[in-house]
Chains A and B, each alone.
Chain A
Amino acid sequence: MDKYIWRTDDTIGAVYRFEPRTHLLRPLIGAEIPAGFPSPAQDYIESSLDLNQFLIKHPTATFFVRVQGLSMVNAGINPNDILIVDRSLEPVHKSIIIAVLEGELTVKRLLTNNGCWVLAPENPEFAEVTITAEMDFQVWGVVTYAIHRLF
């Protein structure tokens, strides 16, 4: 289903859908095709690469968030990086998760040591948080990739 029916007035100007709309097309085997001559490589072009397809398994459950702070630098997560978060995944021991902690979204490594849940930073200068029953805590989603700018 790629067409949504909206019963709306003009107050909804634009509805953006989370679907691969911008494809980065990189032919696996590319070849300039000289006019008139069929390329000998033509039969070998199998498909093109779509980053969305590679990075996002569940588009409807996937969200992007931006990182603030230094507590996860040793996991390769730096300030201003963009994280890809898949809410449909179940967190397991050592998953990097987005958690709701006391009304705030935070990224940490989840450790589940014999029934006890710990949110662990990846930077010795920050402290672990052990989750207790009184805390306002929830798993928001599981981080699948970090996008870090290198130039």
Chain B
Amino acid sequence: MKKSEIFALVDCNNFYAACERVFNPELRDKPIGILSNNDGIIVALSEELKQLGIKRGTPVFEIRKQIARHDIRIFSSNYTLYGDMSARVMKILTFFTPDLEIYSIDEAFLHLNGLRHLDLTAYGYKIRNSIRKWTGLPVSVGIGPTKTLAKIANRVAKKNGKLDGVFDITVRPDRDRILAGIDVKHVWGVGPQYANLLHRNGFHNVLQLAEAPQKWIKKKMTLVGLRTVLELRGISCIDLEQDIDPKKEIVSSKSFGIPVLSLQDLREALNSYCIRAVEKLREEKQVASQIMVYLTTNRFKEEPQYANFASCRLPLPSAYTPDFLRAAQTILSGIYRPGYKYKKVGVMLSDITHQSNLPPDLFAPSYLDDRRKKIMDCLDSINHRIGANCITYAGIGKARNWQMKREMLTPRYTTSWDDLPLVKA
């Protein structure tokens, strides 16, 4: 058994809606819904919208009447804004501990082992108040001896208004009573299927799960489930993940705003995703040797369906965009069938290694010491300085009929000089 640990989970409350509110204070008490790509379904809700009984995943057309009646504000997802605000929150967290794992765009685990001598609840409030003041975003802080318990503590902090957003489960003598009041489906790592299995077998609340026999758990829920149970008992099994895993594969794909029929439009979209994927590859100083292309129709519609994929190997590992564009187009020509309404096309790069691991080749210059690398480096640095896609390939077309629909997009308040918030003097 390991020595005892202390983790905190810091989680932004209703992050997307909160970001919109910082720059548009008029939204303060309004129910807010943020839409998915292509403005189809609601992916993020403010507390007020949840109160109206609307659930994440609801298609926006289903609530047209309520939108008018309750003055619900609907926005497209402004990922540029959310990304910038998230980076600010994460940076502020590094002032509180150098040991943190950015778990998602709006949550991070903090390792607080070195700070045991402090009143950690007070420290939690310091974190919460700093982020609130510096960025305008509300966060909840949950503290526990394991990551799984920190997650649960965070949930308690969020649900119980009296706690004012901070909860340290390590100092609570009534930990068992608290765990007994929470359904197993809310435990980190317990999906809906395992939750059903647990309910059927009489494990309803978190305390029951923590006390479940290890053998049974291991048999029914594998080692991963056992790890969860041990974590609930206060035995830390899941470490902070700070090292960046070299990516095993890079995927780039988006659903189309409107169904796409023509091969030309598909080609343009595929080129654009391919360019982005290879750009990501270069950002990580990697090369890839394998490319896969897939396309699919909308399986939720009652129309003729078709989906296919194919892949090919490059002669040499590369990060030179034209190599991939050529391969992608060849594959697409092979799997495209006319007459279908396509919903999505995508590209996946795999067999990825770091550029420094490139073996020398006897017969061809490797990507590293080739002029191809110089061209790409030059292109990336220009695009980085002047703006994304300042220089790009003609193959992505001009009309871009296939581009995402984002009709209710708010300004990029923090990243564009033309979009700065207006203040009245």
Chain A positions near chain B (C-beta within 8 angstroms): 1, 3-18, 22, 58-61, 63-73, 77, 79, 82-83, 87-88, 98, 100, 103-108, 121, 136, 138, 140
Contacts and interface: CB of A to CB of B under 8 A. Distances in A.
B273 A87 contact: no
A18 B84 contact: yes
B135 A14 contact: no
A38 to B, nearest CB: 30
B313 interface: no
Nearest to A68: B422
Contacts of B77: 11
A129 to B, nearest CB: 12
B388 A14 contact: yes
Contacts of B161: none
Nearest to B418: A66
Interface residues of B, number: 46
8 contacts: A3-B244, A61-B135, A64-B414, A67-B422, A67-B423, A73-B425, A100-B25, A103-B28
Contacts of A10: 251-254, 273, 276
A18 B80 CA distance: 12
A88 B133 contact: yes
A13 B26 contact: no
A105 B25 contact: yes
Contacts of A87: 133-136
Interface stretch (B67-75, B101-109, B117-125, B294-302): B101-109
A11 B84 contact: no
A25 to B, nearest CB: 14
B276 A7 contact: no
Contacts of A71: 424-425
Interface string B14-39: 00000000010110100000000100
A68 B422 CA distance: 7
B371 interface: no
Given A11-B37, A87-B136, A105 B88 contact: no
Given A1-B91, A10-B253, A103-B26, A65 B136 contact: no
A82 B414 CA distance: 13
A74 to B, nearest CB: 11
Nearest to B243: A5
Interface in B261-311: 273, 276
Interface string B80-104: 1001101110111010001001111
A3 B285 CA distance: 14
Nearest to B105: A8
A104 B425 contact: no
Nearest to A22: B385
A3 B242 CA distance: 11
Interface centre among A14, A22, A140 (most CB of B within 10 A): A14
Given A61-B92, A107-B424, 4 more contacts: A4-B87, A66-B423, A67-B423, A87-B133
B421 A68 contact: no
Contacts of A100: 25
Contacts of A58: 134
B79 A13 contact: yes
Given A3-B244, A6-B105, A16-B83, A77 B424 contact: no
B415 interface: yes
Interface in B324-356: none
B91 A63 contact: no
Contacts of A138: 25
Q: Which 3 A-B pairs have the closest CB atoms?
A: A15-B83, A103-B26, A61-B134
Nearest to A90: B133
Given A4-B102, A12-B83, A105-B25, A63 B421 contact: yes
A107 B133 contact: no
B136 A140 contact: yes
B84 A82 contact: no
B237 to A, nearest CB: 20
B224 interface: no
Given A6-B102, A10-B252, A11-B37, A105 B414 contact: no
Interface in B353-373: none
A136 to B, nearest CB: 8
A97 B421 CA distance: 15
B244 to A, nearest CB: 5
A8 B423 CA distance: 33
B84 A72 contact: no
Contacts of B86: 15
Contacts of A82: 417, 420
Contacts of B415: 16
B269 to A, nearest CB: 12
Interface string B407-419: 0000001110100
